Amino acid sequence: MAGITTERIIALHAAYIRCIDRNELESWPDFFLDPCLYVVTSAENHRAGFEGGMIYADTRGMLTDRVMSLRDANVYENQSYRHIVGLPYVIRNGGEGTETETPFMVMRIMHDGKTDVFATGVYLDVVRAAGADLKFKKRVVVCDSSRIDTLLALPL
């Protein structure tokens, strides 16, 4: 596979967070290949070499199940979220996929307008072209904070 341009990687990140922040979660699994690897973990666990995480999915179906359970829990009723993604760092481009690291921050906006920092961290991604699109073969979301309870409320 030839290398992927930064422009296309930027477009993928922008589309991904737009999907989540517009609360179009049903489309979120489409950003992944099937099978895939989607893990949410903490920096502490990641440094310690733990492969698992607070959230672990390795098929698109598991991602879809997750969306359904979030819908059941109505987590979006009283708050909204805003992702800001930083500039992607390309570790490796071409061959089996393009590997990137990209910092992110998520703000949470409560119903009364109060806004706080919900999460910060870094996306460790492996991206591949699938037809005209790019998709995630692997997305490991490493959250800086270990307060895990709040991190379970939405896709990151």
Asked if 3 interacts with a copy of itself (CB under 8 A), we say no
CB of 23 to a copy of itself, least distance (A): 10
CB of 101 to a copy of itself, least distance (A): 6
Asked if 27 interacts with a copy of itself (CB under 8 A), we say no
At 113 the three-state DSSP class reads coil
Asked if 67 interacts with a copy of itself (CB under 8 A), we say no
Q: Which of 68, 73, 84, 130 binds a copy of itself (CB under 8 A)?
A: 84
CA distance 81 to 17: 10
CB of 62 to a copy of itself, least distance (A): 26
Q: In this chain, which stretch among 27-35, 58-66, 68-76, 77-85 interacts with a copy of itself, using CB under 8 A?
A: 77-85
Q: Which of 67, 85, 152, 153 binds a copy of itself (CB under 8 A)?
A: 85
CA distance 43 to 103: 13
Whole-number Cα distances in Å, 107 to 42, 77, 104, 142, 152: 18, 16, 10, 16, 14
Q: 121, 104 in Cβ contact below 8 A? A: yes
Dmax of the chain from CA atoms? 49
CB of 35 to a copy of itself, least distance (A): 27
